[in-house]
Amino acid sequence: MNEELSIVRPVKKRMRFKSVLRANKWLTPTVKQFTFSAPSEFDFYSGQYMNMRFKIAEKVVARSYSISSLPGALSDSDEKYLCFTIKNVAGGEVTPALFTWEVGTEVSLQGPFGTFFIGERVPEADIVMIGTGTGLAPLKSMLGYLLESCHFKRKVTLIMGVRFETELLYMELWKEYEERFSNFQVLTAVSAAKSPAYLGVHGRVNVILESNIEHYRTRMFYICGLQAMVNGVATYLRNEGIAAEHIFYEKYDS
């Protein structure tokens, strides 16, 4: 994100703690949502991530995952929890093992980290969020915080892109938000749609962005996904005259 702004942004206290897997569920054919326990004193800003350490074949490995749940989220038993939205990378070293985990698996979590977040001072402008794949994870937390916790009244548009329509994440939630919040809109772009029932944009997220840029010029942008997408969108926005301090992003390596 914009480094000048990140220097003065507030931070939450970092903690390291043991965490237990409470639930995991399939969201798409390749993505699961993992729910882990968290201590009552833990807190974070929507958009931040955690470092997770665990063993695979007696080897300790570490990975970073964005938090997709809301700050302060409580289970039915009043236990704080954190959700992570993770894709199973075929042939990968780590995720195939994660996807075999059963409820009760223990890991070590440390954080929160990251300057890509929305804190107590919410933006005083309309917002566009752009995410591809599991780049939706931090945006989901941000959207929930803005709409449900802050009762944000400015316009919020979510542009999400995937290759196949079966990979679209949290569509039921976005449709619920559209019904509950008149200031929220979700737009989808699928680059290789297979079903004639898919009614969104055919192509990449830039198709939606470019066709609506005249309506977005005064908005703030939050972008998350693979590096190529983030770099391309950020460059396009700057070339269109969007100020750098209105563009925030997080890049995923893979």
Mean pLDDT of 195-213: 93
Q: Quick: pLDDT tens for 59-92.
A: 999 999 999 999 999 988 899 999 999 999 888 8
Residue 107: half-sphere exposure toward Cβ, Cα within 13 Å: 25
The average confidence (pLDDT) of the chain is 93
CB-based burial of residue 180 (10 Å sphere; 0-12 exposed, 13-18 middle, 19+ buried)? exposed
**pLDDT at position 142, please?**
98
Q: pLDDT tens digit string along 236-251?
A: 999 999 999 999 999 9
DSSP letter at 74?
A: B
Q: Where are the beta strands (DSSP E) in 27-173?
A: 31-37, 49-56, 59-66, 81-87, 106-113, 127-132, 156-162
CATH architecture of 127-252: 3-Layer(aba) Sandwich (3.40)
Q: In what order do the strands lie in the sheet with 59-66?
A: 59-66, 49-56, 106-113, 15-26, 31-37, 81-87
3-113, what's its fold?
Elongation Factor Tu (Ef-tu); domain 3 (2.40.30)
Question: Which has the higher per-residue pLDDT, 193 or 107?
Answer: 107
Phi, psi of 119 (to 5 degrees): -100, -155
Domain ranges of the chain: 3-113, 127-252
More confident residue, 5 or 199: 199
Considering only residues 10 and 108, tell me which one the structure prediction assigns the higher pLDDT: 108
Within 13 Å of residue 89, how many CA atoms lie on the same side as its CB? Answer: 9
pTM for this model (two decimals): 0.93
